[in-house]
Amino acid sequence: MHYEDYFESQLAALRADGNYRVFADLERHNGAFPHASNRVGEAVREVTIWCSNDYLGMGQNPKVLEAMHKALDISGAGAGGTRNISGTTHNHVLLEAELADLHGKQDALLFTSGYVSNWAALSTLASKIPDCLVLSDALNHASMIEGIRHSRAQCQVWRHNDVAHLEELLAAQPLDRPKLIAFESVYSMDGDIAPMAEICDLADKYNAMTYLDEVHAVGLYGPRGGGIAEREGLMHRLTLIEGTLGKAFGVVGGYIAGSTAMCDFIRSFASGFIFTTALPPAVAAGAAASIQHLKTSHTERQEHQARVAEVRARLTKAGIPHVENPSHIIPVMVGDPVKCKFISDCLMDEFGIYIQPINYPTVPKGTERLRITPSPVHSPEDVDRLVEALGNLWTRCQLSRVQMAAQ
């Protein structure tokens, strides 16, 4: 085989389908986010980011930055080792206590990212519990799917958010067979929310463990930012809650929270926890400050919801089709990979608006979309410019407008 030719031919196929990924080179402006500089070759232009998962702007929160500066001055740059070999700093210990408290659990365990936490926790539980059956929601995140696959445990996929289908699968199993139901709270591409109480009821009835990914909900929902499970009063019913420190908390890292024995089990058996350098102490300090802040401050969450409602209403008024859902994610449906990329390019080139096109394989073919994530740091002028630009491009691309019920 001619390896280089093979790589090129595969990339050419992606390009032809409109699915080739191009990353925007951004320099976020601390204190002025969502505004950033975008570099294209020698040129630099100012853009407004409308697709960030820094949902609340916590990545520039002064308390977070101060905690990070302070820890950097005290402890230096890196942790210097795996958690087992000299990498457990006091900042890690404090952060894990903060996370256990956030989710009302006995304990928590940190990972280098949300992806790694899902991959490591699911693969460890499913592979180390004898004869474990994993019941996985059809739209679970790639990190969950990869973790389950790696475990080599039997896996059955239930139709997305379909508890009747989940029950059918559970009922067909012996009651004493170990089972793990894996699902998310807020699904990040459609913005819909799992029927969590019903899933917990089924878990009780059929003696299953529950594994909940709250990545797109922590910091954003619940009186202390504990996620949808906190908002619904269900945290105590979930076996394991997984989250990220990289989205609403504005830093980086992932974690699980659960019982002391389960966290200790994963700590002791998960390769993805054991054999990798711990997060830098300054990162742990920043994340802890962010969580602490959002446990008591409600303004960010309230303003976030208000801004989301405002953008939705404006899009509805302009006839731009978007998916109604009970969360903060606004999927604007284009339904064609080439047009989706074209609109995204025009938004950036002509209007200084950055919204990454979401194409296959992140979403199914034919459901290509622009995923808009308003935040408290988007100004009314930012909103005006967004709606105006989308309206302009909708006309130019001859995309149909829709009549949606006013909210």
Ligand X SMILES: *Cc1c(COP(=O)(O)O)cnc(C)c1O
Residue numbers at the binding site for ligand X (CB under 6 A): 113-115, 118, 141, 143, 184, 188, 213, 215-216, 244, 246, 254
Q: Which two tokens stand for residue 205?
A: 């009835």
Q: Which two tokens stand for residue 8?
A: 């090129």
Residue nearest to ligand X (CB): 114
CB of 250 to ligand X, least distance (A): 12
- The residue (of 188 and 356) whose beta carbon lies closer to ligand X is 188
Residue (118 or 161) nearer to ligand X, CB:
118
CB of 304 to ligand X, least distance (A): 17
CB of 191 to ligand X, least distance (A): 12
Buried b (16+ CB within 10 A) or exposed e, 293-329: bbbeeeebbebbbebbebbbebbbeeebbbbebebbb
Q: Which helix (H) or strand (E) holds 371?
A: strand 369-372
| Between 114 and 321, CB nearer to ligand X | 114
Is 295 labeled as catalytic in the residue annotation? no
In terms of DSSP bridges, do strands 154-158 and 330-333 run parallel, antiparallel, or are they unpaired? unpaired
Smaller CB separation from ligand X, 158 or 394: 158
Q: Smallest gap, in angstroms, from Cβ of residue 332 to ligand X?
A: 18
CB of 279 or CB of 315, closer to ligand X: 279
The catalytic position among 70, 128, 179, 247 is 247
Spatial CA neighbour of 205 closest among 172, 229, 241, 175 = 175
Helix, strand, coil % over all residues of the chain, rounded to 5 = 45, 15, 40
* Min CB(111)–ligand X separation in Å: 9
| Residues contacting residue 312 through CB under 8 Å, at least 6 positions apart | 322, 324, 330, 407
Q: Cα dist. 281→107, 163, 253, 275, 284 in Å?
A: 19, 41, 11, 18, 5
Distance between CA 191 and CA 202 in Å, rounded? Answer: 23
Active-site residues, by number, are 247
